[in-house]
Structure 1
Amino acid sequence: MIIYNVTSNVDDSIHDRWMAWMMEDHIPKIMETGKFYKIKIVKVLGDHHQPGTTTYSVQYTADSREKLEEYYKEHSPQLRAEARELFGESVLQFRTELEIVQEFKMI
């Protein structure tokens, strides 16, 4: 399994609009691609972000590297462009790919 992680540093002036867009528009569009089976939005805690901003990690979990590559090729350019058009420099992002080696869970 592969996690495509997008960390977003969101300016507080557009925070509510960005979060509504994520929940009502962006995440549903990504789910419709069928490339990911689970998406989590988590807030980054602590003082690791700049004043006047809130940082989130959005974790998109795919079954395989192939599905992630298909997402990059078929969907990512359009969705990234849409985000840039709507929010510009008010949302700074970086992306990482994570491979799940082992998952432990308490029963």
Structure 2
Amino acid sequence: MILYNVTTNIHESVHDLWMNWMQSKHIKDVLATGKFTSARMVRVLVEEEMGGKTYAVQYTTDSLETLQKYYDEDAPKLREEGAMLFGDKMVAFRTELELIREF
């Protein structure tokens, strides 16, 4: 199982708008691609020097191949929407993780 982790720092001035967009639209749009089976959103409990609040969303998929299809077919459009809405008020980085075992 592969976890696609997107960590985002969002500026306070657009926090509430971003949070609403993430929960009511963006995460649903990512899941609607059919390439992920689930998603979970968590808040990062570390205060950033740059300010803002930081969150991570972990999407679960079956393989790196499926994740690559997401990158090729869906990610550009979905990332563009966030960039248009929030511009430099949002900083995101992505990490690919392999689940070894759940206990």
Using the size of structure 1 for normalisation, the TM-score is 0.91
The count of residues paired between Structure 1 and Structure 2 equals: 103
Q: Which residue of 2 aligns with 1:27?
A: 27
Separation in structure 2 between the aligned mates of residue 50 and residue 11 of structure 1, nearest angstrom: 12
Cα shift readout 1:57-77 (whole Å, capped 9, x = no counterpart)? 111110111111111111000
Letter in 2 for 1:102: R
Partners of 1:102 and 1:60 lie apart in 2 by: 16
C-alpha displacement of 1:31 = 1.1
Aligned equivalents of 2:46, 2:57: Cα separation in 1: 17
Corresponding position of 1:57: 56
Partner Cα separation in structure 2 for residue 94 and residue 83 of structure 1: 13
Percent identical = 50
Describe the SS at the equivalent of 1:42: strand
Amino acid at match of 2:60: T
Which one has the largest radius of gyration?
A: 1
Read off the aligned partner of 1:87 and give its amino acid letter: F
SS at match of 1:57: strand
Query: In 1, distance between residues paired with 2:74 and 2:43?
Result: 25
Match of 1:95 in 2: 94
Q: Once the 2 structures are TM-superposed, how far is the Cα of residue 51 of structure 1 from its aligned partner?
A: 5.3
| AA matched with 2:34 | G
Q: For residues 54 and 46 of structure 1, what CA distance do their matches in structure 2 show?
A: 9
- Structure 2-normalised TM-score? 0.95
Unpaired runs of 5+ residues, structure 1, are: none
